[in-house]
Amino acid sequence: MVTKEQTIALLESISRLLELKGENPFKIRAYTNAARALETFSGNFPDLVAEKHLEELEGIGSAIAKKIEEFVTTGKLGYYDELRGSFPDTLSELFELQGLGAKKIKVLWETLKVKSIADLEAACRDGRVAELPGFGEKTAENLLRSIERRERHSGRHLLSEAAIMMEQILEHFRGHPDVSQISSAGSLRRSKETIGDLDVLIATKNPKSITEFFVTFPLIERVLAKGETKTSVLLRNGMQSDLRVVANHEFPFALAYFTGSKEHNVALRGRALRNGWTLNEYRLGPEPSAKQPPKPIPAIDTEADLYAALGLNFVVPELREATGEIEAAEAGKLPKLVELSNLRGTFHAHTSSTDGRNTLGEMAAAARDLGLQYLGMSDHSKSSFQAHGLSEEKLLQQVKAIQELNAGFNGEFWIFSGVECDILRDGTLDFSDEILSQLDFVVASVHNALTMPEKAMTDRMIRAMENPCVTMLGHPTGRLLLSREPYKIDLNEIVKAAAATKTIIELNANPRRLDMDWRLWRHAKELGVPCSINPDAHSMAGFQDLWFGVQAARKGWLTREDVINCLPRNEVVKILKRKRG
């Protein structure tokens, strides 16, 4: 099944290819607008296509609707294949580099015959790129850094991309008569922020049937290896997927083993050895070289049975990173982790007044449809000109609009008025305290001057948190996974300052950010720093990202008590006001 996300990616690719060809700007924009229209659509995408309602979306005309229908129905689009045929296959690699858009790629290709990342690297190193009009030495240096960063992250994919593809693989097998048990495994099952290969585990009595059916999955580019117990394929999105087939009685051992992490598995095997047992991906059995008679091995039908046999409470996959979970499981001190259903509201969302794609009313309706009880709106401030940031006047107009909407909710829903306020270079804020004090909350974020030295950047953010109007710190490191490194910052000092200033730290749930990183949250929790899981939603569909934020929070050992948006509205109001006295 072709997903909405894959269709959006296709439309964006067509737009880029048309720009490379030098096509009419209106034609290019038509595909971009169609992609945006699908991004803001929050209904059932397969039904939208099957019932031929695509043209009802503003931004999608009949010609593009037919192309979408062809792609969704067949998994291919002849028009796209024809466009791709006009350029070298490797040229598309260049779009993966930060700071390189279609216009510059067109110049590089036509002027320097650059058709791949390898060509570009050579042209940067020998000075040809620096000599091009509109490029220069600084651009060449930045491109080399982007190439180096891409190499460092080669073979990695965002959790969101991996999760969507895995769901389609699982759906492919749903209802298959020979599937006894099925699960994802590996880093995806542990909800790591980036994923390598997709690991699928199936228990069956008929391995050949499962293997043959797997290679019929429509999104396979080619089969890399095929055997009775393991088959590897390359998918059209560039990911590799490995299917492992086991017997039903082997499933709990294989699931634990292939979920990992490696260090967690080593600890499990060590506990098995102390009981005179050996543990591998197929069984828990007596250790042949054990000096003492082994303890009796209990019946094991599930992963939970395996952990119990090893004297441990069950460890959920998100915690299996060798960060103390074994000791906590042994002592019966594993936390009850936060769940998506615990969220009563959220903060940090944008509207079409700045760089969002939906109106204030539409965003509120989308949040209500998810069962949330409140929403904190926070459009960009005036210095974020690239995001069409609000002036003081427009911000206060939005506050009034929020008050009018709240009056119509009859207490069943509530919008908190806020702003995502830029932290300026010196640590001051983009709006005066007089303006900010009229809001319910303020998310303070860095959006410019990202390359400051570590101490200067740390001091900048601490000064912002010292302002009593600042409620929470937004995406603290500014990272964009697989594309932009975090700014240089001392996160330990930031967390200490958050505790001292009673500032909430955001866990930005956008799967490109997942910032602050899960590895820092236990330390923040120990210091009493509250977390707010925020979607940074720029469309109604953006609220779906809350799931990724919850997964990151779970990896950080957070419970519902650690997350402010698990609180009812009356309690949240107290938290938002606590810095202002």
pLDDT of residue 428 exceeding 80: yes
8 Å CB contact between 312 and 326: yes
Task: Give the CA angle between residues 476, 340, 318 to the nearest 5°.
Answer: 70
Give residue 164's pLDDT: 93
Q: CATH 3.20.20.140 in the chain: give the residue spans.
A: 340-577
Burial of 182 (0-12, 13-18, 19+ CB in 10 A): middle
Q: Tell me the per-residue pLDDT of 90-143, one tens digit each, with 9 for 90 and over.
A: 887 888 787 788 889 989 988 999 988 999 999 999 999 999 998 999 999 989
More confident residue, 259 or 87: 259
**CA pair distance 241, 361, nearest whole angstrom:** 41
pLDDT of residue 3 exceeding 90: no
pLDDT of residue 1 exceeding 70: no
Class of domain 340-577: alpha beta
Give residue 2's pLDDT: 78
Q: CATH 1.10.150.110 in the chain: give the residue spans.
A: 4-152
CA dihedral 33, 35, 41, 43 (to 10 degrees): 140
pLDDT of residue 367 exceeding 90: yes
**Nearest alpha-carbon partner for 259 in 217, 214, 198:** 198
Name the residue type at position 188: L
Those residues whose C-beta lies under 8 Å from the C-beta of residue 9, and which sit 6 or more positions away, are none
Give residue 289's pLDDT: 77
Question: In Å, what is the CA distance from 271 to each residue of 275, 292, 330?
Answer: 7, 15, 11
When the pLDDT of each residue in the chain is averaged and rounded to a whole number, the result is 94
8 Å CB contact between 540 and 362: yes
**Nearest alpha-carbon partner for 417 in 435, 402, 434, 432:** 402
8 Å CB contact between 355 and 579: no
Question: In Å, what is the CA distance from 302 to each residue of 256, 298, 326, 334?
Answer: 10, 12, 18, 19
Where does the pLDDT of residue 149 fall: very low under 50, low under 70, confident under 90, or very high at 90 and above?
confident
What would the two tokens of residue 354 be? 């700045």
Full-model pTM: 0.84
**Nearest alpha-carbon partner for 423 in 392, 399, 456, 401:** 456
**CA pair distance 391, 394, nearest whole angstrom:** 5
Where does the pLDDT of residue 86 fall: very low under 50, low under 70, confident under 90, or very high at 90 and above?
confident
Name the residue type at position 580: R
Q: CATH 3.30.210.10 in the chain: give the residue spans.
A: 253-331
pLDDT of residue 150 exceeding 90: no
Distance of alpha carbon 36 from its chain centroid, rounded?
19
Q: Tell me if residue 75 falls in helix, strand or coil.
A: coil
Those residues whose C-beta lies under 8 Å from the C-beta of residue 114, and which sit 6 or more positions away, are 94, 105, 108, 120, 123
Q: How many residues can be counted in the chain?
A: 581
Q: Tell me if residue 366 falls in helix, strand or coil.
A: helix
Ramachandran class of 514: left when φ > 0, alpha when ψ lies in -120 to 50, beta otherwise: left
Within 13 Å, how many C-alpha atoms sit on residue 247's CB side? 4
CATH of domain 253-331: 3.30.210.10
**CA pair distance 44, 42, nearest whole angstrom:** 7
Q: CATH 3.30.460.10 in the chain: give the residue spans.
A: 157-246
CATH of domain 4-152: 1.10.150.110
pLDDT of residue 11 exceeding 70: yes
**Once rounded to an integer, what is the mean pLDDT over residues 361-387?**
94
Q: Tell me the per-residue pLDDT of 22-77, one tens digit each, with 9 for 90 and over.
A: 888 899 999 999 998 898 887 889 889 999 999 999 899 999 999 999 999 988 89
Residues 157-246: name the CATH superfamily: Beta Polymerase, domain 2 (3.30.460.10)
pLDDT of residue 386 exceeding 90: no
Establish whether the linkage from the previous residue to 209 is cis, with ω within 30° of 0: no
**CA pair distance 538, 350, nearest whole angstrom:** 5
More confident residue, 510 or 238: 510
Give residue 84's pLDDT: 86
**Once rounded to an integer, what is the mean pLDDT over residues 272-291?**
90
